[in-house]
Structures are given as C-alpha cells and as structure tokens.
Structure 1
Amino acid sequence: MNRYDARKQALADFVRHLASLAHRAREGDRAARASARASLARLRRGLDRPPGSAPETLEEVLPYLRAEAREDEYARERELYFLIGSLFARHPGHSQEHRNLGNLGATMRALGTDNPSAVQRFTSLLAARRDQLPDLLRQAVSLAAGDEVPVNYYQLAQDLLDWDADDRRVQLAWAREYWPPQARPEPAPASGTTAPVATQEGNHA
C-alpha cells in the first residue's frame, strides 16, 4: 500500500470508529452507552475551537493517527481528524449506511438550492482555502443537523484529504452533486414529418 492509500485507509478507519461510537451510544448496554456518549461529548467540545486546542478531545483522536506518518503529514492529518471528529459529534447521523450517500454537495442540495443565501454559503465552501474550511463546515453540518439531513462522513473525510488537489476534483464533484445535469426532453419531430406506421406481420393483401 502506498503512502496516499495508507492515509485514506487510516482516515476511513477513524470514521468507522466514530460510527461505532454513535451506534453504541444508541444501542449498547448501559455502560457502553455512557462511555460512547462521553466520548462524543468530548469531541463536541472541540467544535468551536481550533482543531486540537480542546484538551478533552486529545484522547479521542490522537490514538487513531498513523504512527508512520511523516511530520508534515502528521500535522495535516491531526487537524483533519480533529475536525471530522467534532463535526461527527455535532451531527452523528444514524448508521454506517450513510457512507453510501453522495458527497457534501448532495447534502447541501438537500438543504435547498433556491435560497440565495444557501447558494452563497455553498459557493463560499467551494472557494474556501483549507484554513477557512472549519468554520464553513461547522455551519454546513449545523444546518444539516437542524434539518435532519445526513452527512456522508466517509466521503467528507476523503474529500478533505484531497482538498488542495491541483485539478480541484473535490470542488467539482461537490458542484456536480449540487447542480446535477438535467435530463433533456426528446426533440419534437421536424415540421412536415410523420412518425413511421407500425405494420403487423401476416397482414397481407
């Protein structure tokens, strides 16, 4: 496995851990529910603070970072894990099946495309630098939570890993989900033409 794939796999494992916390918080026994809810509460404390600045969140994130990461990778991944953890704790969703949903563009589309302020919020996300993403994503996830629109955290985490790609593939993929191609109606027959008449076999003069 190359370094890039290792980063993606570790990030997916972390989101899987978050999903298991949400599951135990709902359906575990009393001790499991209490432990999982405490973990999610600690992660939520980092929601309005710079990633990693809330001491309570450290034990929930640091053990899941890659030990083999280079120093520059470790710093970037640490910020990403703290951000994903706090966003998930704000709006956990309901099950791991949400990994099959679309990207954040689909989430934002479900929140509405005919409201100018909603469109502006989404275009601000598309234009954001990496350091601007935490505040904008907190707003987006809070809106999704308010309307009970699920978020695909598996896809969001992978997309944030690739946010700075030169081809802007993440931003373009989000935009495509938000403004999907529209099916075009079949063109009407040209004036003066008629549709072919079907004939029945065996109907001979």
Structure 2
Amino acid sequence: MSIQVPEYHDEVRARRRRLVGHLYGLHAKLESGNAYQAAEARRTLAQLRRSLTGPQYEAEAYAAVFPFDPPQAEQQAWILVAGLYATHPRPRPRSAPGKGSRSLGTSIRTLVAERPSAERRFLQLLAVDRTSLPYYLRQTVRLLSTADIPLDYDRLLDDVVTLMHKGADPERVHRVRLNWARDFHRPAPSNAAPSPAAPAASPTN
C-alpha cells in the first residue's frame, strides 16, 4: 500500500492546482470585459469572502471548492485559501508553482518595506497554532490587499495544507514557518547592474 503514496500525493497536488487555477480564472473573468462573466465572478468572490465570516457561512464556499474533490483532511485548508483569494483576487504570478514562487514571507517583506508596523503581525502569524491560523491569515491577506501586493496562492495552499493538517509531521510544519521567515528576512535582490570599471588614466607626457 505504501507504493501508492507518491501517486496519491501527485494526484492531490494536481487537484490543488486545478482549484487555484479556477480561482485565478475568476480574476480573469473580472477583467474580461464580458458583463455576464464579470457579474458571475463577482458573485462567486462575494460568496467566498462571506465564507470567512463564520462557520454558519462556510457553506457559501462549497460550490466553488468541492467540485475539485479536496481530500477530507485538507478541505478546511482549501476552503480557507479560496476565501483568502476572494479577499485579495489577483492574476496568476508569472513564475510556475515551485519554481521561484512567491511565498507569504516574500510578500510580507514587501509589505513591511511600506508599512513597518506589519512586521509585528507577521511575527504573530509565525507563532500561532493551527486553530488560530485562519484568523491571522485573514488579517494578513487583508493587509496585502490594501497595499496591492501579490501573493502566490498555489504556494499558499500547499503551505496552509501542511500547517492545518491535524496529523502533519511537526518537522514539515516547522519547515514551512522557517521558509516564510527566511524569505521575509532575505535581502531584496539588487537590480542595479555593476558599474563598469573606470578606464585607466592615460599617462601624461
């Protein structure tokens, strides 16, 4: 039976990608210029945002999430990330998932450069347990939204699945938090080209 585990994980990751692709598709519909598609996307996004406001509204997200068949152990993470996306809908980042993807720590580093007070919120986020995580993620994504800072939702879903899974390996949970912290503290890359060496002065006669 253990032979089936890698295939299971690959297949589940493919389902996650399809869900997130659907979410990014909602933003594309908003920008499509098609009035019907835009209205449909706004309605779906409103339902997903409402699903974050309390357990009694969680069912608002089911029609958007359950067609992608989340594993039972992951479904709360999928519902949460769908609601977070609706809070801050953006086009898909240019980088492919897992290849230079933008972690939450990277996005918050950009935010703190504009709003230093957000660093305290990030430190709280790193320390909370899985039951408090949804609240702090909602607050954080709202801050990113107000500053219009992008977030990679493919990467976020993978990370949130790990952090919210009841039976997650503590080492994997710790690794996600370390990755966020490392990306937050990593110096921003310099886009400046190195200055050419000054030409040697010609000897004077």
With normalisation by structure 2, the TM-score equals 0.76
Counterpart residue number, 2:54: 49
Q: Which runs of 5+ in 2 are unaligned?
A: 1-5, 190-205
Letter in 2 for 1:24: K
Q: What displacement does 1:34 show?
A: 1.6
Contact 1:23 1:95 in 2 (8 A): no
1:86 paired with 2:113, answer no
Work out which of the two has the higher radius of gyration on C-alpha atoms and give 1 or 2: 1
Q: CA 1:128/1:5 → structure 2, altered by over 3 Å: closer, same or farther?
A: farther
Equivalent position SS for 2:62: helix
The Cα RMSD (Å) is 2.4
Deviation of 1:30 after TM superposition, in Å, equals: 1.9
The 3 A distance-change label for structure 1 pair 123 and 3 is same
- 1:15 aligns to what? 20
Q: Determine whether 1:58 maps to 2:62.
A: yes
Q: Distance in 1 between matches of 2:11 and 2:161?
A: 12
1:175: which partner in 2? 181
* Greater displacement, 94-103 / 26-35: 94-103
Distance 2:115 2:33 in 1: 40
Report the number of matched residues: 175
Counterpart residue type for residue 179 of structure 2: A
State the SS of the aligned residue for 1:94: coil
Shift of 1:107: 0.9
The alpha carbon displacement at 1:174 in A equals 0.5
What is the CA–CA distance in structure 1 between the aligned matches of 2:40 and 2:116, rounded to whole Å? Answer: 42
19-28 or 99-108: bigger deviation: 99-108
Instruction: Report if aligned partners of 2:108, 2:122 keep a CA contact under 8 Å in 1.
Output: yes
The one-letter code sitting in structure 1 at the alignment partner of 2:83 is: S
